[in-house]
Amino acid sequence: MHESTIPSAIAPTLFLSDTDVASLADWGAAVAALADAYARPTADAMVPPRSMARGDGIWLRSLTAVSPAGGHMGCKLIAASMRARCASYLIALFNQQTMALSALIDGNRVTGLRTAATAVLAIDLLAPQRALRVGMIGTGFEARGALDCLKSVREVARVRVFSPTPANRERFAESFRPALDIEAVNSAQAAVQDCDVVICAARSRDESPVLQGAWLCAGATVVSLGSTLPEQREVDADTMERAACIIADMPDEVLHDTGDAIAALSAGVKVAEKLIPLADLVSGRAHPRQNERDIVLYKSVGSALQDVVIAEMLYARARQQGLGIDQPASIVPVSK
């Protein structure tokens, strides 16, 4: 007996290429979409832990989430080969009402979009409402995305940037001139001195911390993007000790699966007592600073919710702008 298909006037599945995603990306829209999502109630079951299948030198990671906005649910798949040193990223969006496959999206750029936009969402809520003095440690794609997004959303007074490779920090600084007052400096300490916002997006080669809490001025907002695994370190235990609170996009993963938190716990820092979910910050349920001198830390490991929300935003903009390729055939939802 065959299951019956659902007759429909369902829109065809839209494919968005990497080029389409680059054309559709918009920092303001990304931050707004994430702000809306994190302000809505979200049950743990809507964003389950990620999973990974492993083979001989290859792996396939799956991140799934149900959007709290009620539009779509989705999955980001990452297929990677350590032998071939390559990876593919695919996001599938399903309509929550019809179960139709709305879109297939090349997810290559989405991780960078969602990481930067979520960090800037946190900065916007945590940092002073004035032109910001920004210190950057790192000059890779995550650092570039974070600064590019931040200057699109907030006024930036000045930037100091450090990378251990002089050519990299000079190139990074030059790429943002003349839009920003930006200076390449010779040390991480010089980069973060007297800064309102410190963005760390670089691990050291030996996985020792690149940021020391002793360098931070009172009232600093620290963002840590580059250490997401137990073996990775980016900020030292003193940074976590000095933080009045630690905002986390995935609190359990930050606590148990990041080298920064593991090292801080070993040093006696009460990390769990400091953790606040990003959703509590965005919704106004939490007020991290008791006074303007408090240091706060936003620690990111990334979330499927962020991937799906950004993918929804890209899909909506693609339909509005007529971008992407409608597929001649798609899967058909069936009655169950």
Please state, in angstroms and rounded to a whole number, the distance separating the CA atoms of residues 207 and 205. 6
Class of domain 14-111+305-326: alpha beta
Q: Which pair of structure tokens corresponds to residue 60?
A: 């396939």
pTM over 0.75: yes
Query: What b-and-e string marks burial along 77-116, b requiring 16 or more CB atoms within 10 Å of the CB?
Result: ebebeeeeeeeebebbbbbeeebbbbbbbbbbbbbbbbbb
Q: Which pair of structure tokens corresponds to residue 44?
A: 């743990």
The DSSP 8-state label assigned to residue 103 in this structure reads: E
Tell me, what's the pLDDT at 5? 52
For residue 52, list its beta bridge partners: 61
- Give tens-digit pLDDT for 273-322: 999 999 999 999 999 998 999 999 999 999 999 999 999 999 999 999 99
Give the chain's end-to-end CA distance (angstroms, integer).
Answer: 12
Please state, in angstroms and rounded to a whole number, the distance separating the CA atoms of residues 160 and 120. 17
Neighbours of 314 (CB within 10 A): 31
Q: Has domain 116-302 been given CATH number 3.40.50.720?
A: yes
- Averaged pLDDT in 10-residue chunks for the chain of 336 residues: 54 96 98 97 93 94 95 97 94 96 97 96 96 97 96 97 96 97 98 97 82 96 89 93 96 91 94 96 93 95 95 98 96 89
Please state, in angstroms and rounded to a whole number, the distance separating the CA atoms of residues 269 and 262. 10
- What region does 322 belong to: left with phi over 0, alpha with psi -120 to 50, or beta? left
Q: Where are the domains of the chain?
A: 14-111+305-326, 116-302
